[in-house]
């Protein structure tokens, strides 16, 4: 059964999203947007879910936001998904879950399906190992 807070928040977020869209649809579109996903573990704890489920939901929301930004015409989007500080604080299992979503490739396919140039994925070094 959905929590009462979810039943209340869903319509509020819908209204909030529409309001944001109406504020920017006719104005200048930013050339670059940076996103730092945060709060998946807190959200999981609040909703009595595992961190795997929380990252799955976070990934879905990130995909939704990226599609929205692409549709608005934003040319560059940076997602700072995993910092070296987070790698040090998280279990290897949790880091693996995040890396699995990064490697999944759905977001790249979504960009290309919208006729946009494919995203550039920067391969940075993490803890001495290059993740590709």
User: Where are the domains positioned within the chain?
Assistant: 31-130
Least confident of 14-23, 50-59, 112-121: 112-121
pLDDT at 31 over 50: yes
Percent of the chain clearing pLDDT 90 (strictly above):
0
Instruction: Check if 6 is active-site.
Output: no
Mean of the pLDDT values across residues 68-94? 82
Choosing among 3.40.640.10, 3.40.1180.10, 2.40.50.100, 3.40.190.10, the CATH entry for 31-130 is 3.40.1180.10
Return the pLDDT at 90: 84
> Looking at the DSSP assignment, which residues form a beta bridge with residue 76?
32
Active-site position among 38, 40, 47, 71: 38
Distance CA 110, CA 79 (A): 15
Please report which helix (H) or strand (E) contains residue 104, including its range. Answer: helix 92-104
Q: Is 38 a catalytic residue?
A: yes
């Amino acid at each position: 059964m959905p929590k009462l807070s979810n039943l209340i928040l869903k319509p509020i977020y819908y209204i909030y999203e529409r309001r944001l869209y109406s504020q920017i649809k006719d104005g200048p579109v930013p050339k670059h947007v940076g996103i730092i996903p945060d709060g998946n573990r807190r959200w999981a704890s609040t909703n009595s879910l595992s961190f795997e489920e929380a990252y799955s939901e976070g990934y879905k929301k990130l995909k939704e936001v990226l599609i929205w930004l692409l549709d608005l015409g934003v040319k560059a989007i940076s997602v700072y998904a995993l910092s070296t500080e987070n790698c040090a604080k998280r279990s290897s299992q949790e880091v693996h879950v995040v890396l699995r979503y990064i490697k999944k490739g759905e977001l790249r396919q979504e960009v290309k399906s919208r006729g946009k140039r494919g995203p550039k994925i920067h391969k940075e070094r993490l803890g001495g190992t290059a993740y590709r």
